[in-house]
Structure 1
């Protein structure tokens, strides 16, 4: 037996010995019994902690990405990208050099090609982690919020996302969506989801949250958040409530700027904090910080990620959270305005963070934390506190018991017919009919009518974008099942005069027009397209396939629905609602204000028509 294989075998024996007597900790838990851990858990964790070097402990506090579809991907482009990003060739070298506690998957880094590939990558990462350093299994995370934020796409089961679930009002549906998502993630080796979003979206011009939130009512958001925490964690996937202390009332994107939340302490306790408190009370494994300034909580101008009064004072001491605090990406502009990249991770730890997500220069960040410990700026016991929480989380999610997945059984879990049926049923209950003034709906079936489907697709970009084609083509296919003839003409999210005129010409030769909008409240050209189509005199149905607020910018439209999502599962549900195969039961989970006054109500929270 070679040295590396012998070492791996010895590590496996060590881990097995550690979990003897505490195997039950690997069982799925909601987390209500999670905060401080039992005696068996503490013994396991202390043994692992005791054998770790300082370098290994600090490494456990970092989570980042690597390029490639396997742990030792040799594709020249992937190797070059890894060298530029981290100075290594692949995942294995990255893990061995920095003793990472977590890896995060993205589509842009080539990690999520298909379920079998993902499962193989996850197993390779776990083998690399267990075969190096202290032999601690890896947290493998992603952002699978569903709806508009998805990293693992089809054939994995897709759901319409948070605001759509808010429109459906069913915590049972929210739980089911999370449980199915969690089951499929765990089957491919992803054991931590950076979801659910616990932000209360009370700002209709919020550029970064919007439909990622369950809605604008704290009670609704709290109930949905709790349901999804349980759904994920009962599948042994760590849930993450984000973005603390609440990113719902901002018109600045923290990816590109530093938002300021000017809520009073009373408003924070009434609006923003309840969903996080509900998640904490339910035993959520982790909470993600927001790069937002909240003067009522900390008047220093520091974003929450770097604020000790917010993370330690409020989240830890007042709200009683003893799980893992993970930062949002440290590469975002909102956290990089006051300190250099070498200081940000140090300040985050001093504030109370446990895991540091995606620093822009991992080597700089890692060594900055090491230097801060060696100089005494950060005490060793402070590092131990964070690593202890991380190890407890890993133990509770069964990673010490068995971090691997059975690659031969992926197809028995991911995207199975039962899961798709559940997604369809849930999506049917989310579509909201906001306006039916012309009594155009429900449409008659089997008429052979010619229907033009036009407008924006799923993602910003040109009409040639494959994702946009998928959005409207899937809708057209679903419409044709009801006996109509369709023509699809993409205009994109910023249709110029030429594309608008072409759409108008096609509309004049159609019996019915369905125009989809995607954040038209930010696009004058989308607004003009809708108005031009309405001026043709043809029957026009407008469907907001992302933010429901678009109707305020073309109130002359007589028929308007909201799906809150452009995923095919939502577009198919929209077709069923249009033809009356499904009664629209969704209710607005937000208030829609008028276009010129955010305080004037156009359609109230809870509005929704039915047939």
Structure 2
């Protein structure tokens, strides 16, 4: 009954995609279609009804903090409820329901879903077919719970090892490798009937600032950009249905405007590269774009005017006092009204709006497919997908041995594990807390240990036979470097697990053994454990 209802609902929605649908839409309905917003709650609510049936938004973006997103059945019920609201609109247009499910450190759907290592780990396997298989698996799981658009894959070329925002989210620092793995990921999503989104155009890989917090600037010539940052987009644009912008200032393309707000930059994507799909803005509540705009309303108008088709208004705004504040339904209604007003007053052309809406309608018509069978156990977190994640994790490990002979037979040793508290959950789910004959564990808060925590860690390790340290982007934190260095100076057999950016490996040459996983996910942690136990 449930499956038949969902198929009937999808058919009813699609029956409204007539040739004259666009002509029947009001200005207000068309503006609604270009907005993708978040809703609060793990089930449909009055706020959701207000946004879907009042504002008539074209899309919803999911976040853990807003929607729970566990277990899978909850996500499916939420998706079904939201689409039911959309079906009752005059147009009957289905919603684009999106999530950032990149794998690795950015995965909105986790509990109850298959957890995959991220892009850098995939590239470390040297097997691009694994990227296709992982994308297919993630796409299948997303579609099973009603998500029809993934804001992935990341095809930024991470040519700056100190990149504060991309790092292991990228397939690496070589443009051809990124393009090759990105192509396979697109193939996987296509097979899963999942709308994929290349990001972040024109390339977020060589920045020193996080665009969530400020506006990064990329100082490269156009020729240099075309060899590196732009290369994956040029190679893959004709196979992609959507491309997301980056909030960057790239003077070689436009010396004045942030890429999301730059007609010159987006014209390059359309005319030089030849992309004719949907251009999606990165979230317009990010500081990187708001440094050039007086409000989110202004950012939305300018982004649409520049050439963005779908405007993401989801996520949390980082305010001056570093507090996260999300947009409310009132805010979305205000932004919607501001765009309508800009068109009525002639500041923004309705022709530009029409171009965006037609692309969105075409995407919905061609790419939103019916939901699969209701039995989620046949699609989500299957043995096959868990085995795939394990294979990727084990194949991606890179081992650096200096005095590996000092590390052996850990099951017979007293081991002290030192790690940041954000790894406590994943370590507890792995076998690491039982790695030695006896295992002591010390977790320090955050990623910047205090002097007292450094001393406590040393005391904890004092009587250990082997010290095992988890390094999570220590390169960003002098105190994290100090903690690991002070533990290594105790001259005990030592293991450093580099679970995120590989730059950490170069910081600790005195370690007996370093294992890089490029991913702090459970499959990667377990793979490192398995590798150590074999020594």
Give the alignment's TM-score, normalised by structure 1.
Answer: 0.80
Aligned length: 513
Which one of the candidate residues 360, 363, 367 is aligned to 1:390?
360
Change (3 A) 1:387 1:556: same
Q: Pick closer, same or farther for the CA change 1:513–1:121 going to 2, 3 Å.
A: same
Distance 2:514 2:389 in 1: 23
Q: Matched residues in 2 for 1:9 and 1:429: separation?
A: 40
> Which residue of 284, 287, 290 maps to 2:246?
290
Matches within 5 A, 1:476-487: 477-478=431-432, 480=434, 484-487=437-440
Asked if residue 561 in structure 1 is aligned to residue 518 in structure 2, the reply is no
**Cα distance in 2, alignment partners of residues 165 and 13 from structure 1:** 37
Say whether the 8 Å CA contact 1:474–1:571 is kept in structure 2: no
* Displacement after TM superposition at 1:126 (Å): 0.5
Q: Does 1:489 align with 2:442?
A: yes
Query: Is contact 1:255-1:334 (8 Å) kept?
Result: yes
Change (3 A) 1:369 1:422: same
Distance in 1 (alpha carbons) for counterparts of 2:73 and 2:406: 43
Q: How do 1:565-604 residues align onto structure 2 when only pairs under 5 Å count?
A: 565-580=519-534
Q: 2:336 aligns with which of 366, 372, 379?
A: 366
Q: Which residue of 2 aligns with 1:451?
A: 415
The structural deviation recorded for 1:105 is: 0.5
Aligned partner of 1:61 among 21, 34, 38: 34
Helix, strand or coil at the partner of 1:108:
helix
The equivalent of 2:260 in structure 1 is 305
State the shift of 1:277 in Å: 1.6
Counterpart check, 1:96 vs 2:53: yes
Residues 65 and 103 in structure 1, CA contact (< 8 A), matched pair in contact too? yes
Bigger mean CA offset, 526-535 vs 554-563: 554-563
Give the equivalent residue in structure 2 for 1:50.
Answer: 23
Question: 1:604 maps to which residue?
Answer: none
Question: Hey, what does 1:436 align to over in structure 2?
Answer: 401
Say if 1:116 and 1:130 are closer, same or farther in 2 by CA, change over 3 A.
Answer: same
Give the distance between the partners of 2:208 and 2:7, measured in 1 at CA.
53
1:442 and 1:577 in contact (8 A); partners too? no
Question: What residue number does 1:138 align with?
Answer: 95
Contact 2:36 2:61 in 1 (8 A): yes
What secondary structure is seen at the aligned counterpart in 1 of 2:106? coil
- Which residue in the other structure is 2:480 paired with? 526
Does the CA contact (< 8 Å) of 1:67 and 1:111 recur in 2?
A: no
Q: Which structure 2 residues correspond to residues 63-212 of structure 1 after superposition, within 5 A?
A: 63-72=36-45, 89-212=46-169
Partner Cα separation in structure 1 for residue 423 and residue 530 of structure 2:
20
Q: What is the CA–CA distance in structure 1 between the aligned matches of 2:478 and 2:498, rounded to whole Å?
A: 15
CA deviation string 1:212-253 (max 9, x = no partner): 111000011111111111111221111111110000111111
How far, CA to CA, are the matches of 1:349 and 1:58 in structure 2?
A: 10
Residues 214-233 of structure 1: matches in 2 within 5 Å?
Answer: 214-233=171-190
How far, CA to CA, are the matches of 1:14 and 1:513 in structure 2? Answer: 62
Residue pair 1:479, 1:575 contacting (<8 A) in 2 also: no
Q: Give CA deviations for 1:21-70 in whole Å, capped at 9, x if unaligned.
A: xxxxxxxxxxxxxxxxxxxxxxx563321222221111010001010011
Instruction: State the Cα distance separating 1:110 from its structure 2 match.
Output: 2.8
Q: Name the residue aligned to 1:259.
A: 216
Which stretch has the larger CA shift, 212-221 or 359-368? 359-368
Following superposition, the deviation at residue 98 of structure 1 comes to 0.9
Is 1:323 the counterpart of 2:277 in the alignment?
A: yes
Q: 1:17 to 1:260 in 2, by over 3 A?
A: closer
Q: Secondary structure at the match of 1:377?
A: coil
SS of residue in 2 equivalent to 1:488: strand
Could you list the per-position Cα deviations for residues 585-609 of structure 1 after superposition, in whole angstroms to 9, with x for gaps in the alignment?
xxxxxxxxxxxxxxxxxxxxxxxxx
* Shift of residue 422, structure 1, vs aligned partner: 0.9
Q: 1:425 aligns with which of 378, 383, 391?
A: 391
**Alpha-carbon distance in structure 2 between the residues aligned to 1:534 and 1:11:** 61
Q: Distance in 2 between matches of 1:247 and 1:343?
A: 23
Cα deviation for residue 14 of structure 1 reads 5.6
In structure 2, the gaps of 5 or more residues are 1-5, 315-326
| Aligned partner of residue 291 in structure 1, secondary structure | coil
Report the RMSD for the aligned CA atoms in angstroms.
Answer: 2.1
Which residue in 1 is equivalent to 2:424?
A: 469
Alignment of 1:265-284 (within 5 A): 265-281=222-238, 283-284=239-240
1:145 touches 1:161 (CA, 8 Å); kept in 2? yes
Q: Which runs of 4+ in 1 moved over 6 A?
A: 8-13
Contact 1:544 1:550 in 2 (8 A): yes
The separation in 2 between residues aligned to 1:575 and 1:396, in whole angstroms, is 45
Conserved 8 A contact 2:407-2:494: no
Cα distance, 1:162–1:528 mapped onto 2, change above 3 Å: same
Counterparts of 1:265 and 1:182, CA distance in 2: 34
Contact 1:67 1:109 in 2 (8 A): yes
